[in-house]
Structure 1
Amino acid sequence: MAPLSCHRRGHIRSMTRKIQKSRRPGWLARARGEIRRAAADLDWIARIPAYIWLRLALLPALLWGWSALAGLAPAGFVAGPYLTIRAFFLLLMDDRQDFPLAIWSTVSVYFGGLGLAALVGIPLGYLLGRFRTLGRTSAPYLHGLAATPVVALIPLIILLVGLDCQAKVLIVFLAAVMPVTINTQAGVQATDPDLLEMARAYALTRGARLRHVYAPSALPSVMAGLRLAAMAGLVASAIADLYTAMTGLGALLQGFGNSYRMDSYFAVVLTYSAIGALTTGFLTWAERRLIPPAHRQRLTY
């Protein structure tokens, strides 16, 4: 076969380029590709649970209801969202730093009492659930102590401990320890008997049974008890601030209320709500990390 001339070779190359260009996707195909890439980039939005969107949608409704209540109430009785948030930042930027110091005082008392309640309540609940006779014997006394209002014990606590920070921590501890103890006891008692029989058949030690049988069974109830204790302890910390040494957020709450500074008053209330929400949110996050979904137990709040 005769070799191709330079002219024919150039013509073939030109035709090949035209064919390749004609096979390239047009503007519609390019647009479809861009849409697919954009949808892939936004795929994380579709993975967000529906309740998160409902929470975000509920927030404007709550703010609107708050504003409406502030408008309907007599002047100076209820501060609206704008005035409350403005007062919050003004308190934070105050040169005297009373508000940050009060937050630190309340948070240290709150988490000190809550941590002590967990350290005492979880082992105590395990012992009461593990040894049924001990649990049945102490049940009336535990339930009676759990039903006793903490505020009724404050005069006795002041007489025994004084008005210092230790008294506040003890008040928070007494309010938080019973939910942890009772829920831990219930979780241990609800352990599957078949699992216990299997553990005995394999001659597991007490430590192995605690780690592999009792702990996974009781952990959902323990986390539920900690969430209940977190809410009860926060209420107790506010009561402790009001009835003992006038420090912390409770002291600011009473001072702003007595002077009718309602914007600052609601800023302190909002701070209490934020502390409680962050604490229970952290406990819920820890529950998701520690407990398998099949054994997870959520409360309705």
Structure 2
Amino acid sequence: MVFSDHLAELYGLPAFTFPEDGAAADLPAPDAVAWRIRAGFADEDADWEQVFERFCSAVDTTRIRALIVGAWECVFDCGPDDVIEALLAARDRLPALRALFLGDIVFEESELSWITQTDVTGLLRGFPALEEFGVRGGTGLEFQALRHDSLRSLTVQTGGLPAGVVRGIGASDLPALEHLDVWLGESSYGADCETADLEGILSGTRLPRLRRLALRNSEIQDDVAAAVAAAPVAARLEVLDLSMGVLTDDGAAALLGGQPLTHLKKLDLHHHYIGEAFRQRIRQTLEPAGVEVDLDPGEADEDRDDDGTVFRYVAAGE
């Protein structure tokens, strides 16, 4: 899987890329779109902060509801620290901001695991009214434990997620959070998470309103499935997403042998390595109860070397 297209929307608003040269002709209403700010393409001499300054001069920022941070000028070599500093410096000019995505970068700009990130905690502390926050890229990513009373949706897309980020999320008090989407990734791209690191998330203690949980794109997907099957948080979920990873019959057996999942509205397991027998058992157990089960597009590809060793892959690594 690669990101071939930029975000089409954020916060229910269509995405619109602000012209790098700051041209103000034919701009949409400030609150009608999710504004994408990116740099170094139409104007190779402009850095992200310069484009953002032009944006703030051309648009009534007091009405902006959603911002998308596209590529900054050195995504391979440096994180978005200057971007974050610019956003925080402008926070008083963005009183209506409710959604922010950091790193809307497609493969033509950078592969997923080449994106350099940083500590994103300051953005959440600096914008206490944010309801949606997303970040793409795991290299250098940090997430410190915090309390945020407004956040309803948190998305972390990586090909390899540091365990400290997982623990930081799990240790955060997020009383309004309804949707959590975490891409764990694989060890060759920096993932070092173990199921014990998920304890804070799976207990649900600090996430009382969580209803949609995605722990996906993992090379330890079987272990994650087993942990979720016994987790307190599972009983109040409406959607459980364990897709995009290396989920095999072992993980399927753990889900079937754990607490009942018939209360779910949807179970998403697409991109998997589950055999036909277990696929049928999952469908026969859950679909009669009204659970939507996504097991498509069937088994993901796997490779074997000359001695028969099997290689399986997450959907989004490099």
Question: TM-score normalized by structure 2?
Answer: 0.23
In terms of fraction of residues, the more helix-rich structure is 1
Higher radius of gyration, 1 or 2? 1
In terms of fraction of residues, the more strand-rich structure is 2
